Amino acid sequence: MPSSIFINQLYRPPSSSSPETLPSPNTGVRAFHQSLPGYKPSPLVSVPAIAARQGIRWCLVKDETERLGLPAFKILGASWATYRALGERLGLRENGDVVSLQRLAEAAKAEGVVLFAATDGNHGRAVARMAGYLGVGARIYVPSLLDEEAISKIRGEGAEVVVYDGDYDQTVLATKVAAENHAEGKGVLISDTALTVDDETANWIVEGYQTMFDEMEEQVLEITGTRTITHVVTPVGVGSLTQAVVTHFQRTPRSPKPMVIAVEPKSAACLKASLEAGEMTSVKTEYTICTGMCCGTLSAIGWPMLKSGISAAVAVEDSDVDTATKNLQSCGINAGPCGAASLAALESLSSGEELALGPQSVVVLLCTEGRRGYEMRSNSQPEP
């Protein structure tokens, strides 16, 4: 069996009708995204061919292959976190009003701030894009294994790229130190993973993903005529996106609550390792075509939500992701590997009792990334 599936015994179903005691969603997030150049809802695409093959009622793909002019969903979080972090830093609080990007840009330029981020590709490019909008500098740290194409795309946004001699986890730590030591405290770290539980910026990243789910709710109703979603399959790197999924469904009153199924590459399955151990556990990562998901440690604020909020974690092989990528492309969805990982996970699940997949299921696959070049490699063989 190429994929391995872990059914989460720590899963605690939230009450079906009442929202848990989570803070209400920030209603300013979508208005903020609508103010950015090129905003439009990403499509939710019904794929009847996959639904028929899987024996489910609906297979709906939330297609994030193009989002605010970039080929991944990450700018939803990066933009909102940058906006909030700079707003705090520069004393431009909202006071009920949304501070315009232009006002933020003027203040940020006058202050001479520089944005810092660690990335496997997409987050750093999104932070660099925001720096471009604001007219401030960006210094983006990447692990040494990141491919040249991803690096040149970040440079193409006008950012300085620092190739760090280490893996993603080590790069995250180095970036935090570099931001803190930057000239006269002018470095602003936009991290999409929390190193400690009180990391506000990582919380804003999670909050920024809310726009995707607000759109999805409207689109599910439009397509299926009901609000029912039975399963959501979501890719995991550090787990911030999945934290946002779990948070959204916990605070939306509905019955039944959807099951959240997380997918990771086998070579970076830190969520599955953590669930198996019953505590947050780091793993040593190896090469995967799912570059954006090649993370060895979960976000410190994500793990407590994921541990009780997801139903299963699936670890997939690159070869299955490669096949899923081609399948989605043949259905007209321009998916890259991280985006297709959700389909690879769904295809590895049989209609068993535990995950209750069957003819009534309404499954949403989060397709987080657009098509890009990648190289298939076997980790069991020495690299060239």
Ligand X SMILES: Cc1ncc(COP(=O)(O)O)c(C=O)c1O
For binding to ligand X (CB under 6 A), which residues are involved?
72, 74, 120, 122-123, 235-242, 292-293, 338, 368-369
Q: How many CA atoms lie within 13 A of 372 on its CB side?
A: 24
Pick the closer one to ligand X by CB: 347 or 369: 369
SS3 233: strand
161 with 151: CB under 8 angstroms? yes
**Helices 75-89 + 101-111 axis angle, to 10:** 60
Pick the closer one to ligand X by CB: 228 or 334: 334
- Least CB distance to ligand X at residue 295 (A): 6
- Least CB distance to ligand X at residue 343 (A): 13
Pick the closer one to ligand X by CB: 193 or 327: 193
DSSP 8-state secondary structure symbol assigned to residue 341: H
- Least CB distance to ligand X at residue 303 (A): 11
Pick the closer one to ligand X by CB: 14 or 77: 77
C-alpha distance across the termini of the chain, in Å: 28
Pick the closer one to ligand X by CB: 122 or 203: 122
The C-alpha atoms of residue 93 and residue 87 are separated, in whole angstroms, by 6
- Least CB distance to ligand X at residue 52 (A): 27
345 with 232: CB under 8 angstroms? no
Pick the closer one to ligand X by CB: 14 or 337: 337
Q: How many CA atoms lie within 13 A of 239 on its CB side?
A: 32
- Least CB distance to ligand X at residue 293 (A): 5
- Least CB distance to ligand X at residue 337 (A): 8
Nearest-CB residue for ligand X? 292
- Least CB distance to ligand X at residue 28 (A): 21
Pick the closer one to ligand X by CB: 348 or 368: 368
- Least CB distance to ligand X at residue 90 (A): 26
Length of the chain: 384
List strand residue ranges (DSSP E) for 39-136, in order.
44-46, 58-63, 114-118
The C-alpha atoms of residue 270 and residue 262 are separated, in whole angstroms, by 11
Backbone angles phi, psi at 231, to 5 degrees: -145, 140
Bridge partner residues of 138 (DSSP): 115
The C-alpha atoms of residue 243 and residue 26 are separated, in whole angstroms, by 15
- Least CB distance to ligand X at residue 112 (A): 28
**C-alpha distances out from residue 19 to 112, 125, 287, 303, 308, Å:** 42, 35, 40, 20, 15
Pick the closer one to ligand X by CB: 108 or 345: 345
Bridge partner residues of 142 (DSSP): 163
Pick the closer one to ligand X by CB: 72 or 324: 72
The C-alpha atoms of residue 111 and residue 106 are separated, in whole angstroms, by 9
The C-alpha atoms of residue 315 and residue 116 are separated, in whole angstroms, by 31
